[in-house]
Structure 1
Amino acid sequence: MSGVNFLGSASGLPLEELVTTFVKAERDVKLGRINTQKKTLEASLSGVSRLKSVLSAFQDAAKKLSGESLNTRKATVIQPTDNKTYIEATASNRSAAGSFDIKVNQLASGSRFETQDQAFSSANDVVSTTNGKLTFTAGNKSFDVDVTADMTLNELRRKINENSGNFGVNVNIVNAGGSVGSKLVFTSDISGDGNDLVVSNNNAELDKISTVATGSDPAMVQKQVAQNAIIEVDGITATSSSNVFSNVVQDLDITVKAVTPEGNNATVDVAYDKESVETNVKAFIDSYNALVDQVNALTKFRTLGSDGKTVTSEGGALAGDSLPRNIMTQLRGILGSNVDTADSGLSTLYSLGITMDKNGKLEISTSTEFGSESGKMRFDKALNENFDSIAKVFGGNNGLVSQLDSFISDFNKGGGIIDVREKSLKKQIEDNTKALDAANRYMDNYEQTLRKQYVALDSLLGGMQRTASAVTSQLTNLPGFNTNKS
């Protein structure tokens, strides 16, 4: 900008308005096209990104119907009594269907030791007057604790519990008083036959808090032996060093929580997880329909009113773009195709009860208008009688999931069709921004040049007006120039 604030003040002409009009007209021409292009490019980039996102969502929904997902098994436990859990069970995808009678005879537990009566009178009693070391061992695990001179019973309790190598020894003090006194109690989490806790020492003064004495003082008393869990599966006895039985029934994990009542056992039923499959199929349908809605919104054309000028509905970001419609055409072809590796008679979505409505959306219809069986009837029949057929249509080697995954990946992957389109649009937006910056610089120069020209014109016209005024003034002073008309 030139900084001229009173253009036209010399000549009295509306030069400022004239310059402003010229600059606006030039700006509208130069910047209008660039700004329009920018809006179009940004809308296209947004539209392509939304298309990519909704395609990814549909791809994810389809993957939940892959072979592994469709083979999901569900273990249902019937407890012996209400309001109490005796066992829990989890089936892997390789579990065979079946029903099993489970009796829990014994839970696995770790060992428990306590000090002799009157070994200590309170938690503040000194454990030892000299330094020593305790070694804790159970199964193949061990850790050491240093006992310092004059350490109290309570200080020892805290030191053992806080030891970084402690594998599961819980130490408590029971202040019983009277003829019992205060007892130090060791409880080990290491369960299983033969895994009793062993506490040894290198100082006979520590015998009272050890399970193995090195001197004459009596060692701790064992109150509970480490033991296995014992169950019966259909009358067959099985044991486990923990309360978890893995693969006692092949590919089934059973966790025991309580001993079952006599004559009242638990039951574990293993079956296909049909509820999960039904949920995932419906999510697949909903995701595809969301894709249809998004593509329709992106590709709709602008509509005009009856006058042919008034816009009644704006067009979509990708109106006129062939990409989304080509994608949908190919997707419909995949969804309507026959899966060669599936069972005869149950090799299409239609045979599973999934059809397309007049709007191009998937549905499981309850209507029997076009046949004796509705889509819902066909779907329920496949789910209950031909579960494996559903898995083959969706999750087979050449099932719909693998076809859809491969197809969508070609568009969404790095270097894919949509990725290339996004990068191209971003580059065009970048170039557009540079063009806009250049246009703004041009407009600044144009306005400055125009103002300089009109400043000169204003000065010239102002001088001419002053000269004309002076000449007129001199002429009026000549004798006889003015005529008295009175």
Structure 2
Amino acid sequence: MGLTSVGIGTGMDIGGIVTALVNAESAAKTAKFDTNQGRITAQISGIGALKSAMSEFNDKLKTLSKTDTFGSQKVSASTKDYLSASVDKTAVSGSYQVKVEQLAQSQKVGSAVAADTTSAIGQGTLSITLGSNGAFDIEVSDTDSLTDIMKKINDAEDNSGVTATIVNGELGPQLVLGSSKTGEDNLISVNAVDTGTGTGLSDTFTMTEVTPAKNAIVHIDGVKVVSQSNTLDNAITGVTLTLNSADVTKTTTLTVSKDSAKSQSAIEDFVDSYNTLMSTIQDLTKYDAETQTAGILQGDALPRSIQGQLRTLISSQYETSAGNQGLASIGIKTTTEGLLDVDTTKLSEALKSDNGSITELFTKEDTGLGAKMSSMVDTYVKSGGVIDSRDNSLDEQLARIGKSREQLAARMTAYSNRLYTQFNAMDLLVANLNSQSDSILSRLDSLPGVVKQNN
């Protein structure tokens, strides 16, 4: 910038003139940059909204593409007093009469009564076995008390599931060993070997049974079932029974039936998400003739392509074991607005009577509706996919606009400096001319015989 703003010689507002000339030169280009930047920023926002709706839709598709979304079974019990039950998809629909005769319980064995819990018992080794598990050994020193032995058993790293506790009975304290596992196959065995003087350890650890081990016994439709545990995984195909009380005179009725609620919820979520996506595309690409306003992505080929592919997949037929099948056959139709509408009653009835064809319609690998749609949507929303490429392209356009702004600013700075140089040079010339003019007039006024006129 020049050294002056107001011309000394001319009195002109040089700064104002230069600013006006620079603004006139850059205004059109700046306005174009602003317009393009606003348009691209709006497109980035629109692409972001499109990707968000597609990602949510893809999440619903992935759920719909899983086989465990379909064919689920449910179980109900006439009473929960004696057992509870859960099922997997292999369970067979039907009714089962269950009576619980006996619960499984773990064995407990007790040592002989000790004098107290703090006196030394005797030196030696305790070898303890639980069922078919290998024995683990406890080394007892000549100073260890009943309490010390209890801690050593509970803290042993190779303890296979034996819990030790001290019970202070009427006759004195006893060390009681309990099994963490129920059933008659999980009996506790203790072998004490004395290595010091006396027989204190072996005498104390001559074990007697306090609580017997028992197997669970249930009767299912009159068939006796024996289990080591109160959880029966294989008594009924696909059904897990958990026993909590026994009374062989009481009957619990289990009813296994098809659970279509999960499938229906997944399908309805898919429809809602599809409608949200299609509405988003319509809003982004529409043109309102009344207000003469266009959507952010109006005329853009990307959302139109996505819309066209989705509509094709929605209206297609898919091969199943029951023949070609489409969404209309299960109560899902396309509205005039291009959205989906669900006949919940028809869908519910279709799911309840389904023999596996609806599962195939949505989940059949590579050829099912869910698989095809998910594959198509993935190409757009995955990292490095079509939408990411479009975002990158728009970001690059913004970067180029930013670079062009910098270049324009540099040119305008140079242009401004050049104008200041020219105007300052002109102003200096005028100032010199004014000075010379004043000097000449002064000399003329001082010549003899010249009379100065006063205006």
Q: TM-score range by the shorter chain?
A: 0.7 to 0.9
The one-letter code of the counterpart of 1:90 is: S
Equivalents in 1 of 2:57, 2:77: separation in Å?
A: 37
Equivalent residue runs for 1:282-301 within 5 Å: 282-301=268-287
Per the alignment, residue 23 of structure 1 pairs with 22
Residues 21 and 78 (structure 1), Cα distance of their counterparts in 2 relative to 1, 3 Å cut: same
Q: Answer whether contact 1:157 1:171 (CA < 8 A) is retained.
A: yes
Residues 360 and 457 (structure 1), Cα distance of their counterparts in 2 relative to 1, 3 Å cut: same
Residues 133 and 15 (structure 1), Cα distance of their counterparts in 2 relative to 1, 3 Å cut: farther
The answer to which of 462-471 and 93-102 deviates more is 462-471
- How far is 1:68 from its partner? 0.9
Q: Answer whether contact 1:77 1:266 (CA < 8 A) is retained.
A: no
Equivalents in 1 of 2:421, 2:32: separation in Å?
A: 27
1:279 to 265, 271, 291: 265
* 3-state SS of paired residue (2:348): helix
Count of matched residue positions in the alignment of Structure 1 and Structure 2: 451
Residues 226 and 432 (structure 1), Cα distance of their counterparts in 2 relative to 1, 3 Å cut: farther
1:246 to 214, 230, 233: 233
Per the alignment, residue 215 of structure 2 pairs with 228
Q: Answer whether contact 2:232 2:242 (CA < 8 A) is retained.
A: yes
Q: After superposition, what is the alpha-carbon deviation per residue over 1:219-251, rounded to whole angstroms, capped at 9, x for unaligned?
A: 233212333322222122222322222232223
The one-letter code of the counterpart of 1:395 is: T
* 3-state SS of paired residue (2:374): helix
Per the alignment, residue 297 of structure 2 pairs with 318
Match status 1:438 vs 2:407: yes
Q: Answer whether contact 2:179 2:186 (CA < 8 A) is retained.
A: no
2:119 to 110, 120, 126: 126
2:88 to 88, 92, 97: 92
Equivalent residue runs for 1:300-311 within 5 Å: 300-301=286-287, 305=291
TM-score normalised by structure 1 residue count: 0.80
Equivalents in 1 of 2:109, 2:161: separation in Å?
A: 14
Residues 198 and 336 (structure 1), Cα distance of their counterparts in 2 relative to 1, 3 Å cut: same
Equivalents in 2 of 1:141, 1:446: separation in Å?
A: 94
Equivalents in 1 of 2:454, 2:413: separation in Å?
A: 57
- How far is 1:324 from its partner? 0.8
Per the alignment, residue 362 of structure 2 pairs with 394
Unmatched tracts of structure 2, length 5 or more: none
Equivalent residue runs for 1:17-56 within 5 Å: 17-56=16-55
Equivalents in 2 of 1:5, 1:171: separation in Å?
A: 98
Residues 475 and 243 (structure 1), Cα distance of their counterparts in 2 relative to 1, 3 Å cut: farther
The one-letter code of the counterpart of 2:215 is: N
Equivalents in 1 of 2:443, 2:198: separation in Å?
A: 137
Per the alignment, residue 161 of structure 2 pairs with 168
Q: After superposition, what is the alpha-carbon deviation per residue over 1:122-150, rounded to whole angstroms, capped at 9, x for unaligned?
A: 4xx134464x5544432325544444453
Per the alignment, residue 8 of structure 2 pairs with 10
2:376 to 407, 412, 417: 407
* 3-state SS of paired residue (2:176): strand
Match status 1:187 vs 2:178: yes
Per the alignment, residue 370 of structure 1 pairs with none
- How far is 1:353 from its partner? 1.4
- How far is 1:218 from its partner? 5.0
* 3-state SS of paired residue (1:64): helix
Residues 379 and 77 (structure 1), Cα distance of their counterparts in 2 relative to 1, 3 Å cut: closer
| Runs of 4+, deviation exceeding 6 Å | 205-208
2:395 to 416, 426, 429: 426
Q: Answer whether contact 2:104 2:214 (CA < 8 A) is retained.
A: yes
Match status 1:334 vs 2:303: no
Residues 144 and 254 (structure 1), Cα distance of their counterparts in 2 relative to 1, 3 Å cut: same
- How far is 1:52 from its partner? 2.6
Equivalents in 2 of 1:144, 1:5: separation in Å?
A: 99
Q: Answer whether contact 1:109 1:189 (CA < 8 A) is retained.
A: no
* 3-state SS of paired residue (1:292): helix
The one-letter code of the counterpart of 1:169 is: V
Q: Answer whether contact 1:67 1:392 (CA < 8 A) is retained.
A: no
Per the alignment, residue 452 of structure 2 pairs with 482
* 3-state SS of paired residue (1:190): coil
2:341 to 358, 363, 369: 363
Residues 51 and 166 (structure 1), Cα distance of their counterparts in 2 relative to 1, 3 Å cut: farther
- How far is 1:382 from its partner? 1.6
- How far is 1:458 from its partner? 4.0
Residues 449 and 77 (structure 1), Cα distance of their counterparts in 2 relative to 1, 3 Å cut: same
Per the alignment, residue 348 of structure 1 pairs with 326
Equivalents in 2 of 1:106, 1:140: separation in Å?
A: 25
Q: Answer whether contact 1:394 1:400 (CA < 8 A) is retained.
A: yes
Question: What root-mean-square deviation, in Å, do the aligned CA atoms of Structure 1 and Structure 2 show?
Answer: 3.3
Equivalents in 1 of 2:341, 2:401: separation in Å?
A: 44
* 3-state SS of paired residue (1:238): strand
* 3-state SS of paired residue (1:10): coil
- How far is 1:415 from its partner? 5.3
* 3-state SS of paired residue (1:76): strand
- How far is 1:166 from its partner? 3.9
Residues 127 and 90 (structure 1), Cα distance of their counterparts in 2 relative to 1, 3 Å cut: farther
The one-letter code of the counterpart of 2:109 is: F
Equivalents in 2 of 1:258, 1:241: separation in Å?
A: 15
Residues 480 and 349 (structure 1), Cα distance of their counterparts in 2 relative to 1, 3 Å cut: same
- How far is 1:214 from its partner? 7.1
- How far is 1:100 from its partner? 1.8
- How far is 1:112 from its partner? 1.4
Residues 471 and 111 (structure 1), Cα distance of their counterparts in 2 relative to 1, 3 Å cut: farther
The one-letter code of the counterpart of 2:220 is: V
Match status 1:197 vs 2:188: yes
TM-score normalised by structure 2 residue count: 0.85
